[in-house]
């Protein structure tokens, strides 16, 4: 069992609820880009104390990487980013479908892709029904 990642100093979810909207969560029968039935937009999870482990164990890269610039805060970037081994996954808010192609995001995604490639990984961007490998 992997240890839970540590929350970076000074970071919090605040009113961000993108992890309640963007990912597909089979356990909750929640498709990608749809609000979880337990989410109160802008406030958070209505079953927070009893949320399933899939939610309890998840932290986006913004929450764990102190070196990640303020621009990557999910409520600001309109993207949720996380690592899975050498892969970097980016889920883009469908209300801002092209934000990942703008700066400072695009350059950082290209840098991450170069770093990941050296370890056999890649960056994958999910934008609604589109998938882009960088």
Give pLDDT tens digits for 18-33: 999 999 999 999 999 9
> In the chain, which stretches have pLDDT less than 70?
1-4
Is 84 inside a domain boundary? yes
Q: Establish if 5 belongs to a structural domain.
A: no
Residue 87 lies in a domain: yes
Q: Verify that 88 and 36 share a domain, yes or no.
A: no
Q: Give the chain's length.
A: 134
C-beta separation of 74 from 48 below 8 A: no
pLDDT given at position 1: 46
Q: What is the pTM of this model?
A: 0.92
7 within a domain of the structure (yes/no): no
Residues 99 and 122 in one domain: yes
Q: How many domains does the chain have?
A: 2
Q: What is the pLDDT of residue 81?
A: 98
CA distances from 50 to 37, 53, 55, 58, 130 (A): 14, 9, 10, 14, 33
Contacts 24+ apart (CB under 8 A), 128-134: 128/33, 128/92, 128/94, 128/97, 134/109, 134/110
- The domain in which residue 50 lies consists of 14-58
Same structural domain, 74 and 121:
yes
Residue ending a domain, among 24, 43, 58, is 58
Does residue 1 form part of some domain?
no
């Amino acid at each position: 069992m992997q240890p839970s990642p540590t929350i970076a100093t000074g970071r919090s979810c605040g009113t961000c609820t993108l992890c309640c909207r963007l990912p597909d969560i089979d356990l909750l029968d929640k498709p990608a880009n749809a609000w979880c039935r337990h989410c109160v937009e802008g406030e958070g999870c209505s079953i927070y104390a009893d949320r399933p482990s899939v939610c309890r164990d998840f932290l986006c890269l913004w929450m764990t990487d102190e070196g990640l610039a303020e621009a990557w805060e999910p409520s600001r970037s309109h993207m949720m980013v996380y690592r899975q081994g050498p892969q970097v996954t980016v889920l883009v808010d469908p209300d801002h479908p092209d934000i990942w192609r703008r700066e400072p995001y695009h350059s950082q995604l290209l840098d991450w892709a170069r770093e990941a490639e050296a370890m056999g990984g890649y960056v994958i961007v999910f934008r609604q029904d589109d998938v882009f490998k960088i």
